[in-house]
Structure 1
């Protein structure tokens, strides 16, 4: 298992970037932000072999969350880069993280921003509950116990059953290796 060094500056800027892109959506809050960060890092790992922020994600009841996520939001708020607007929705209270400044993207590769944009386009229209349900079907979340780290390698585990053609190919490969 390869260990990546978390890049707290990139995580901070990615939080601001996603907030700038999503904070005007009807359904927006901390849970949704955490899921979009997770899907961005894990999709990028699956496609490019390296996550964007290298953040450590842990298994939480609502799904994967960056380790220290709430502390990171407090730091951004204390630094004046983020505000959290409280909104009442029925008997539920939503904290909407809202960026005060644009994200600094100088340390991001174009393919990293492309991955984040894909994730936003794919998932941002869903509710936090829907995103949590999707994240609960992720192999990494299913394999980890509450509070445990979710390894990036879990992004490589297929969620789909292999086709007969794929199984035949694998059987042939195994037979060749057995010779």
Structure 2
């Protein structure tokens, strides 16, 4: 069921279906807002980056993202695809589960976010909560500008065009030199694959 969503800036769109886990995404957003609301630099930009790193660290460990959001390249770094993310965020605001309040932060307007309700964590495993908490802990000292600068060093962001979707596997890109273990793995994989080609 698609419904038209009206955003606070008077734009009306009909969002496409979100193919991820909407309930998990909603509760993750509430949880992140709750855990980070006392961090001075926490606003909409940092939320986007926390979600990006949670999803991609989960992808590295388990082969899939936690929320299922697609991410795109934007000027301030990777963000969840707006057509998937904004309807969820706006629904959380409209249903008074999170609050967004503009505040001045070092001469700029920061969209401060806070949780207004408790997240339902029943859908998360202990390992997922641990991963989420580790990412939150690592990123809590950052503000929007600082974390954007960090994400601009990600190869997946560097090689994408503006507003282009960032493939999940691009998060695996590295500038680290190959070592002997890498070469051994590559040779073994090539040999196994070549043996299976008919």
Q: State whether TM-score is above 0.5.
A: yes
Task: Choose which of 157, 168, 183 in structure 2 pairs with 1:152.
Answer: 168
Matches within 5 A, 1:7-156: 7-68=21-82, 69-156=85-172
Q: CA deviation at 1:74?
A: 1.7
- Give the gaps of 5 or more residues in structure 1: none
Q: Deviations over 1:115-159 (max 9, x none)?
A: 111111111112221211111122222232111211111222234
Distance 1:172 1:50 in 2: 26
TM-score (norm: length of structure 2): 0.78
- Between the aligned partners of 1:72 and 1:175, the Cα distance in structure 2 is 43
SS at match of 2:114: strand
| CA 1:130–1:90: 2 relative to 1, 3 Å | closer
1:14 and 1:103 in contact (8 A); partners too: yes
Q: What SS does structure 2 have at the residue aligned with 1:17?
A: helix
Segment of structure 1 superposing worse, 67-76 or 52-61? 67-76
More displaced 10-residue stretch of structure 1: 68-77 or 104-113: 68-77
Q: What's the TM-score once normalised by structure 1's chain length?
A: 0.86
Q: Retained in 2: the 8 A contact 1:138–1:159?
A: no
- Indicate the structure whose relative CO is greater, using CA pairs within 8 Å and at least 6 residues apart: 1
State how far apart, in whole Å, the 1-side matches of 2:186 and 2:36 are.
Answer: 46
1:8–1:55: 8 Å Cα contact kept in structure 2? Answer: no
Structure 1 residues 35 and 168 mapped into 2: Cα distance closer, same or farther (>3 Å)? Answer: closer
Deviation at 1:174, TM superposition (A): 8.4
Task: Return the alpha-carbon distance in structure 1 between the equivalents of residues 91 and 74 of structure 2.
Answer: 21
SS in 2 for 1:55: coil
Note the aligned Cα RMSD (angstroms): 2.4
Distance 2:96 2:125 in 1: 26
